[in-house]
Structure formats: structure tokens, C-alpha cells
Amino acid sequence: MSSSKDIRESVEAELIFDPLVDESNITVKNINGDVALNGTVPSYPQYLEAAAAAQRVYGVKQVHNHLMVELPPDDYRSDAELTTAANNALNWAVNVPDGIEATARDGNITLTGTAGFGSERAAAEIAVGGLVGVRNLKDEIKINFDAADPVDVTTLVQDALDRNALVVDDSDVLVDTAGNTATLTGHVRTWAEHDAVIDAAWMASGVSDVVDNLIITG
């Protein structure tokens, strides 16, 4: 797959193929694997899934998700209703730590509080992202960490990458840790490999931020 047209048509086909996406109001633009999604979808999960579908297509190196969530009339919730539903969802999720809170305004949810790991922050996003009435999600959860030894953090992340089945043995991905920030550089073949590397970095104890400088070769 070499031409811009081929990649665009393949992304469009993947959006049609994906049963979790209503592609009827989505347009796709592509320049050399740099894909932009424009238009509207009826829910926040579809907003996320449309980007995931585009990332699955061979040749896609970047996805710019410019989709807007336009809720069906019956899916609108008042700020109070959605705030209550979101906080209930957080309280009921066993992998979300205590102290994480949600507030809603015009369908936009903001998450605040502290978590011990990036994976706990991701769990909070998942807990509320699928609620009826959500238009967008802003995550302001902070990672509560102790001072970490950069060498130890680097070793933890690098070992996790070496164990990961999605990361090839001759991968040139490198981890450089300064304080509690892990910076990732190198090349990955696919978005699945990219996400595996990012997830591994967030799971390491002592990481409060991950800088993604990875290059997707396609």
C-alpha cells in the first residue's frame, strides 16, 4: 500500500467494517500516512473507536482525531445527573483508587485526584468514558509518587519491553528517565506495538509522566 488514496480508502473501509463505529458522518484525509478524521459521531466511545480503527490500517503513521461528539437528543444528561453517574462508576470500579472524582459540564467530564500508577488513571477513564451523555473527557489525575531512582525506572521499563510479545527482539526503542519522567525514543512497526510500549512505561513504579517520541514506521 503506497499511495495516499490507498491508505485513505483502507481507513474508510476499516471504519465501515468496525461494528462499533457509525461512519456515516466521518470524512478521512491522508497525506503520506498522516491521517485526519473529521465529522461527527454519536458517542464518546465511538470517538475513541474511530481513531483505533484508523490506527489498525497498515501505512498509517499518525491519526489526528478531529471528530466531534453530537449526542442524540435522548442521550443528553444534566450536569448533576452525569456527575453523579460518573462518580458512581468510579466508586464501583475495583481498579480505581479512592479519591478520584469526576465533574461534568455540558457532557464534558473532568477527572481529578491522585493515583499510584498510570494504569489506575487509565482505569478511571475507562470507568466513565462509556457512560451515556459523555461528549469528551479531560484527565487531570495526578500520579502520587515517591522520588524514584532514574536508573531503576529505566531498567524496569526496559525489562518490561523485553518481555512484551508485541515488541520485537531487535527493537531500537530506548527509555531515558529524568526524575520521574520516562522519555521513549526509537521505531515501532505498528500502533499496537506503540501502545504496548507506552503502556509498559506507565506501569512502572515511579513514573509520573511519559514523553512519547516514538516513530511509527508502518
H or E stretch including 192? helix 191-203
Q: What CA–CA distance (Å, rounded) separates 215 from 18? A: 26
Sign of CA pseudo-dihedral 61, 11, 118, 159: negative
Question: Is the four-CA dihedral 93, 98, 103, 109 of positive or negative sign?
Answer: negative
CATH of residue 107: 3.30.1340.30
Q: Which contacts (CB < 8 Å, 24+ apart) does range 165-168 have?
A: 166/192, 166/193, 166/196, 167/193, 167/196, 167/197, 168/193
Mean pLDDT of all residues in 51-69: 94
- List CB contacts of 64: < 8 A, sequence separation 6 or more: 34, 35, 36, 37
Residue ending a domain, among 23, 51, 69, is 69
Question: Are 61 and 83 in the same domain?
Answer: no
pLDDT at 147: 55
Q: Per mean pLDDT, which range of 38-42, 144-148, 157-161 is the poorest?
A: 144-148
Give the DSSP letter of residue 115.
E
Please check the confidence at residue 51 and state whether its pLDDT lies above 60. yes
Same domain flag for 79 and 138: yes
Statement to judge: residues 133 and 97 lie in one domain: yes
- Which sign, positive or negative, has the C-alpha torsion 160, 47, 141, 175? positive
Give yes or no: residues 80 and 139 share one domain.
yes
What's residue 167's pLDDT?
83
Q: pTM of whole model > 0.85?
A: no
Looking at 127, 143, 159, which one is the last position of a domain? Answer: 143
Count of domains forming the chain:
3
Query: Distance between CA atoms of 134 and 155, rounded to whole angstroms?
Result: 39
pLDDT recorded at residue 149: 66
Confidence of residue 133 (pLDDT cuts 50, 70, 90): very high
Cell of 110: 473532568
> Do 138 and 96 fall within a single domain?
yes
Domain that holds residue 94: 75-143
Cα separation, 212 vs 4, whole angstroms: 25
- Three-state DSSP at 127 gives helix
Determine the pLDDT at residue 154: 81
Sequence-ordered alpha helix ranges (H) in 93-187: 118-129, 150-163
Percent over 70 (pLDDT), the chain:
95
Same domain, 79 and 126: yes
Torsion of CA 186, 192, 195, 199, to 10 degrees: -110
- From 97, 119, 143, the end of a domain falls on 143
